[in-house]
């Protein structure tokens, strides 16, 4: 299992903050997100669109990055703020 962590507006749209997703073999992040959306019965666009940021195990990732069993995947909207 890989853990999907959802933050801010993504969490609000989906209605949950975490989801365990079965990963039998390594797969691209885009396929992982599609699998997660099917498992949770939510729109794929809630998890995958050009305005979201992705991290795998704390490292920034793109949709073609690889997700493996036991990975932690975070989905979040763009961060803002400043000093």
Residues 6+ apart with CB under 8 A from 18: 3, 4, 5, 6
pLDDT at 82: 52
pLDDT at 61: 98
CATH 3.90.1170.50 fits 2-76, yes or no: no
Run means of pLDDT, 10 residues per run, the chain, 83 residues? 96 94 96 96 94 96 97 90 55
Q: How far apart are CA 10 and CA 50, in angstroms?
A: 13
């Amino acid at each position: 299992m890989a853990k999907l962590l959802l933050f801010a507006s993504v969490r609000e749209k989906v209605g949950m903050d975490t989801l365990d997703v079965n990963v039998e073999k390594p797969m691209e992040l885009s396929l992982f997100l599609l699998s997660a959306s099917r498992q949770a019965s939510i729109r794929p666009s809630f998890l995958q669109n050009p305005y979201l940021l992705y991290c795998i195990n704390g490292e920034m990732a793109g949709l073609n990055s690889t997700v493996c069993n036991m990975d932690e995947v975070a989905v979040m909207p763009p961060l803002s703020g400043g000093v």
